[in-house]
């Protein structure tokens, strides 16, 4: 069987999209393999490798280039398809690496739902590449296919604007494409109700961002905010629930910007994120929901009333970035430190001892020692369970790229070190508070993680039980007794505690 190998960098959206592309590939007759950025784990030579990239930091782009080169070296007779946000903003740079590379820009990623059928049809007419030259020819064919479909999408947009559709002349029936698919540009085609690599289901309800924060080029890479309509969200959620998933992670670039319209009983009802979540809870019965990330200002009374529901997981991630109002203003963030504090207080009022994490950027241009002291104060005041800390990374095309008063990397590194030490100590203390308590947990199904699970409040635990038994329970929700919190201070350890099956 022909194999396509996948690598994923970056956010949960990328992870969902990769899972979805893999599902389309298996449906087309391919075998799909995935790894955690390590092609050395792949034993079967793939006919193609697909890497879904990130551009949030320069380090993410460097990692993408390293993996691309590793794939090229590991599989010298295979082509590499690069997509995602980095592919969107640096297409030419990526293509210059090797002739065996084909780039599908991030904003055109949805077309990969159609790609496996085209690729299988192409390979049915010729043998899989046996040399680097043949792999380069495959890459050229993928490039031509991509250009054709981008042209089709653009023409469809124009036709839609003019209220008529004219499929491009180059689009033929043999391309296995339904021209009507291009009547609407659909950023939500990459969806699946089965997941190869993840034990918990996920759904993308929002994409892109209409904010233009000074440091971020995700708005450039993914475009303006768009939302999946409520009825379609519910349809996909019900499919995941029916597949037996115990939990669904609700994701988006910026869930605060979610705006949908529900057509019901002849009337149109606008919905924001809080209203959508309430709609999903009312129309499902067993599945639980985990919210991937929120802006602090979205945590208002209306949302808190909804997340108090027992099927909303007590785990929240806030996009904070700084504890200094001066820095937040320079970043063009739409909230203040006081908003962050209020959000944390509200979350703790509606959920008992929830896991509350945040993102923080250290060393933003102009960030003084006093600014960072205010960030440290915020971390301690809010008692964040965990902090995802990043040094500022100047991104081309953003306002911050040319800002003056750049903070030396050494100082930014020291600030990240403090935040990381705080995060590990805080998470270890949080885990210890649950020793002797019973929690719900979803058993991991990845082969390398047999014996591990993720609790409702996002503790990663090792279960002391027969591994074969756990393998049979992969993806299922079980009750566990937290036995012992592990010492993770000073370590990059994903497992925070050990547990055993709770007595029924």
pLDDT tens per residue across span 479-496: 999 999 988 877 666 788
Angle at 12 between CA 7 and CA 14, to 5 degrees: 45
CA distance 498 to 435: 9
The pLDDT assigned to 34 comes to 82
**14 three-class SS:** helix
| pLDDT higher than threshold 70 for residue 448 | no
**Residue 167: is its pLDDT beyond 70?**
no
3-state DSSP assignment of residue 209: coil
Three-state SS string over 294-328 comes to ECHHHCCHHHHHHHCCCCECCEEEEEEECCCHHHH
Of 200-209, 364-373, 389-398, highest mean pLDDT: 364-373
| Residue 299 confidence (pLDDT) above 90 | yes
Residue 366 tokens read as: 């102009």
- Which domains, ranges and CATH numbers included, belong to the chain? 3-183 (3.40.50.360), 201-432 (3.80.30.20), 438-501 (2.40.50)
Q: Reply yes or no on whether the pLDDT at 467 is more than 80.
A: no
180: pLDDT strictly greater than 70: no
Cα gap 225→295, rounded to integer Å: 15
Q: Place 166 in a pLDDT band, splitting at 50, 70 and 90.
A: very low
Average pLDDT for 267-285: 96
Task: State the pLDDT at residue 14.
Answer: 87
Supply the pLDDT for residue 237.
95
Least confident of 253-262, 333-342, 438-447: 438-447
Look over the chain and give the mean of its residue pLDDT values, rounded to a whole number: 88
* CA separation for the pair 179, 484 (Å, rounded): 58
Which residues sit opposite 204 in a β-bridge? 251
* Interval 285-289 mean pLDDT: 96
More confident residue, 44 or 306: 306
Which pLDDT score, from 0 to 100, does residue 139 have?
Answer: 94
Q: Write down the pLDDT at residue 40.
A: 55
- What are 219-229's pLDDT values in tens digits? 888 888 999 99
Percent pLDDT > 90 in the chain is: 66
Distance CA 198, CA 397 (A): 34
Residue 186: pLDDT over 50: yes
Mean pLDDT, rounded, for 55-62: 90
Q: What are phi and psi of 12, to 5 degrees?
A: -65, -30
**Residue-wise DSSP of 214-278:** TT--HHHHH-S-EE--HHHHHHHHHHHHHTT-SEEEEEES-GGG--EEEEETTEEEEE-HHHHHH
Using 50, 70 and 90 to split pLDDT, how confident is the model at 10? Answer: confident
Lowest average pLDDT, out of 30-34, 307-311, 428-432, goes to 30-34
Cβ–Cβ under 8 Å, residues 343 and 386: no
Q: How confident is the model at residue 11 (pLDDT cuts 50, 70, 90)?
A: confident
pLDDT-above-70 percentage for the chain: 87
List C-alpha distances in Å: 394 to 97, 346, 366, 402.
23, 34, 13, 8
Question: By the 8 A CB rule, do 223 and 211 touch?
Answer: no
Mean pLDDT value of segment 66-89? 95
**Residue 371 binned pLDDT confidence (cut-offs 50, 70, 90):** very high
Q: Which two tokens stand for residue 137?
A: 């020819």
Mean pLDDT, residues 316-339: 97
Q: How many CA atoms lie within 13 A of 246 on its CB side?
A: 20
pLDDT of residue 43: 63
pTM for this entry:
0.87
Contact 241, 202 (CB under 8 A): no
Q: How many CB atoms lie within 10 A of CB 180?
A: 10
Q: pLDDT at residue 158 above 90? A: no
User: For the residues 373-389, what does the mean pLDDT come to?
Assistant: 97
For tokens 């937290």, what's the residue? 482
């Amino acid at each position: 069987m022909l194999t396509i190998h996948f690598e994923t960098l970056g956010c949960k959206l990328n992870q969902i999209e990769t899972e979805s592309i893999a599902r389309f590939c298996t449906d087309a007759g391919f075998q799909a393999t995935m790894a955690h950025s390590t092609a050395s784990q792949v034993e079967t030579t793939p006919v193609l490798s697909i890497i879904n990239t990130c551009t949030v930091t320069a380090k993410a782009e460097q990692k993408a280039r390293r993996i691309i080169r590793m794939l090229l070296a590991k599989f010298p007779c295979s082509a590499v398809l690069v997509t995602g946000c980095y592919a969107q903003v640096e297409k030419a740079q990526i293509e210059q690496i090797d002739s065996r590379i084909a780039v599908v820009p991030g904003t055109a990623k949805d077309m990969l739902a159609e790609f496996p059928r085209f690729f299988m049809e192409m390979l049915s007419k010729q043998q899989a590449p046996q040399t680097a030259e043949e792999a380069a020819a495959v890459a050229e064919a993928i490039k031509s296919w991509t250009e054709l479909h981008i042209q089709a999408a653009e023409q469809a947009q124009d036709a839609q604007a003019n209220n008529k559709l004219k499929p491009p002349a180059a689009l033929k029936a043999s391309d296995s494409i339904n021209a009507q698919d291009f009547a609407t540009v659909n950023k939500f085609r990459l969806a699946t109700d089965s997941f190869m690599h993840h034990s918990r289901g996920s759904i993308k309800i929002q994409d892109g961002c209409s904010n233009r924060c000074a440091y971020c080029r995700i708005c450039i890479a993914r475009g303006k905010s768009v939302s999946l309509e409520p009825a379609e969200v519910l349809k996909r959620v019900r499919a995941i629930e029916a597949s037996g998933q115990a939990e669904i992670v609700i994701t988006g670039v910026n869930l605060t910007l979610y705006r949908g319209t529900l057509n019901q009983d002849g009337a149109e009802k606008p919905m924001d994120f809080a209203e959508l979540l309430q709609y999903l809870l009312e129309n499902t019965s067993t599945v639980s929901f985990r919210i991937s990330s929120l802006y602090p200002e979205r945590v208002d009374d209306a949302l808190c009333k909804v997340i108090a529901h027992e099927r909303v997981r007590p785990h929240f991630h806030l996009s904070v970035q700084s504890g200094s109002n001066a820095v937040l203003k320079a970043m063009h963030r739409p909230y203040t430190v006081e908003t962050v504090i209020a959000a944390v207080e509200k979350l703790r009022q509606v959920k008992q001892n929830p896991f509350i994490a945040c993102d923080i950027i250290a060393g933003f241009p102009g960030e003084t020692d006093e600014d960072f002291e205010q960030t440290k104060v915020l971390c301690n005041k809010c008692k964040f369970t965990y902090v995802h800390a990043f040094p500022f990374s100047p991104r081309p095309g953003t306002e911050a790229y040319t800002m003056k008063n750049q903070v030396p990397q050494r100082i930014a590194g020291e600030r990240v070190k403090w935040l990381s030490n705080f995060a590990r100590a805080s998470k270890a203390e949080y885990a210890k508070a649950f020793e002797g308590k019973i929690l719900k947990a979803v058993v991991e199904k990845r082969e390398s993680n047999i014996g591990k699970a993720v609790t409702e409040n996002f503790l990663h635990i090792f279960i002391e039980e027969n591994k074969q038994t756990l393998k049979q329970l992969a993806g299922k929700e079980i009750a566990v007794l937290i036995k012992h919190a592990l010492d993770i201070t000073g370590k990059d350890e994903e497992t925070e505690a050990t547990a055993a099956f709770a007595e029924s």
